[in-house]
Structure 1
Amino acid sequence: MRALALLWGCLALRASAALTCPKEMSGFEGDTVTLRCTYESELRTHPKYWCREVGVFISRCSSKIFSGENSQDVMEGRVSIRDSPGELALVVSLRGLTLKDSGKYWCGAQRLGPDEACPVSLTVVPATAPEATAPEATAPDAAAASPPAGSSRPTTQPDSSSSAVGDPGPASSSHSSMPSVSIPTTRLLAPILVLLALLLAAGLIALSTHMLWGWRQALWAEDAQRGEKVHLPAAARREEEAPAQAPEAEETSAPCRSEEEEEEEEEEPDPAKFIAV
């Protein structure tokens, strides 16, 4: 059931041509922004709502705030919403902006089947200290110091000394040059970066294991070659020593036999001596 509900939420959050609204809006921290969405006459009687998009891989609407009847203002927290069927417009105001309010929102109309909805991206710029006001300011300086569209922050004028020097650019564009905050994009990229890091670590581990195994095989082959070289000279030495020992044994045995024969010959008596007597 939960999977079906998530699937239904994804189908419901789709861009619609029958309901239009600004794609982007911005404001300073602590200010109020106002959004005006227009719709076709076919959506005049359908309930309208305002919600914030949540989810990383599956986008869904969270904490829908529905409009009241008879063009009544409905306030919930810092959000106020009013539907004007006569003007075919839905007006949404968000007060007391914070940096956490940056993100993607949906302005939608509920109906049978997928809802008609329009995405809106909100960017909250950090508040800065107000600059010194000058008694007189030129029209370009006043236009450069104006806050973003939809913000209720009062207009400030740049210092006259900077314009007198001839370098009004940095002072007048301090707010416009601030980087925008893109929290949903960071949330989308975080799982991808983690997955890439894990794949890189696994590849490094596999490469190091393969190199270590090859190094061990090379050592084993080198040890085997050394063992064969040691056994071969020892066997050759034994074969050379064996024939050399055989003649020495024959030479040592021959003199022993000749001496015994000489002793036997000396002990035998001479028959000629006995005959003469």
Structure 2
Amino acid sequence: MRLLVLIWGCLVLPGYEALEGPKEISRFEGDTVSLRCTYREELRDHRKYWCRKGGLLFPRCSGTIYAGKEGQETTEGRVSIHDNRQELSLIVTLWNLTLQDAGKYWCGVEKRGPDESLLISLFVFPGSSRPPKQLDSTSAEDASPALSSGSSKPRVSIPMVRILAPVLVLLSLLSAAGLIAFSSHLLLWRKEARQDMETQRNEKVYLSHLAPSFHAS
């Protein structure tokens, strides 16, 4: 009977989806996956189940697990199923995934006539293909001393920086004061040199005026 119900559910009303949820899920070997299939209000009091799709020519359910009544959680092996009627959702959890768990599954709801069902494909990849985890901030801080110890550059501790900071500021002020004094001295020297040049020019002019009068006498 369940075979005919599933075939009918796959053929009729293809645009009508009484169940909604993920169509594909990908995890690694050893992971835990939890999925949610939501259903319509009119299916609240109907019996829900989870099963694996079997059969080649004619689809059928295998390893069917039914949700408990009154929201009770049902667990069989590494699979648990819970019907949350307040949220209109069927929650399925699979622990410690294996490569053999990969396949297609149904979230199903029994009702008069064909059952409502949602087909979900589960992909399980080998644990060896899992990408390496990135270090979090705590691990990075713990690893930083070990990484820096092998570096040839010396590290300056924070107290030393605090000691050197006022000295650097004082040196900067002294350098600025010296630069200002040098600039002032340079301006004064240029002013005195200009005055000497003007004095020499005036003397030459004065002597040039005295020369004709000297020859006339």
TM-score past 0.5 threshold: yes
Structure 2 distance, partners of 1:60, 1:12, is 12
Q: Is contact 1:13–1:115 with CA below 8 Å preserved after alignment?
A: no
1:89 maps to 89
User: Partners of 2:136 and 2:4 in 1: how far apart?
Assistant: 59
For residues 119 and 131 of structure 1, what CA distance do their matches in structure 2 show?
32
Which residue of structure 1 aligns with residue 7 of structure 2? 10
Q: Is the 8 A contact 2:80 2:93 kept in 1?
A: yes
> SS in structure 2 opposite 1:56?
coil
Superposed, 1:1-277 pairs within 5 Å as: 6-12=3-9, 17-128=17-128, 131=132, 134=135, 136=137
CA contact (8 A) 2:3 2:61 kept: no
Q: Which runs of 4+ in 1 moved over 3 A?
A: 4-9, 12-16, 129-137
Give me the CA root mean square deviation. 2.5
The question of whether the paired residues in 2 share the 8 Å contact of 1:13 and 1:60 is answered with no
Q: Is the contact between residue 82 and residue 90 of structure 2 (CA under 8 Å) also seen in structure 1?
A: yes
What is the TM-score with the length of structure 1 in the denominator?
0.45
Are the aligned partners of 1:13 and 1:114 in contact in 2 as well (CA < 8 Å)? Answer: no
How far the C-alpha of 1:12 sits from its partner, in A, is: 4.3
**1:22 match: secondary structure:** coil
Question: Matched residue of 1:70: which SS?
Answer: helix
SS in 1 for 2:70: coil
What amino acid maps onto 2:79 in structure 1? V
Q: Distance in 2 between matches of 1:132 and 1:80?
A: 28
TM-score by length of 2: 0.56
- Rounded to whole Å, the distance in 2 between the matches of 1:84 and 1:132 is 34
Distance (whole Å) between structure 2 residues aligned to residue 37 and residue 132 of structure 1: 30
CA distance in 1, matches of 2:133, 2:32: 23
How many angstroms does 1:7 deviate by?
Answer: 3.4
| Structure 2 spans left out of the alignment, 5+ residues | 139-146, 148-217
The 3-state SS of whatever aligns with 1:42 is helix
- From the superposition, tell whether residues 101 and 68 of structure 1 become closer, same or farther in structure 2 (CA, over 3 Å): same
Q: Secondary structure at the match of 1:11?
A: helix
Contact 1:26 / 1:122 at 8 angstroms: preserved in 2?
yes
Asked whether the 8 Å contact 1:13–1:61 carries over to 2, the reply is: no
Q: Distance in 1 between the 2:133 and 2:66 partners?
A: 43
C-alpha offsets along residues 89-136 of structure 1, whole Å, 9 cap, x if unaligned?
110000110111111000010011100001100000110277475465
**Structure-2 residue corresponding to 1:182:** none
Unaligned runs of 5+ in 1: 138-159, 161-277
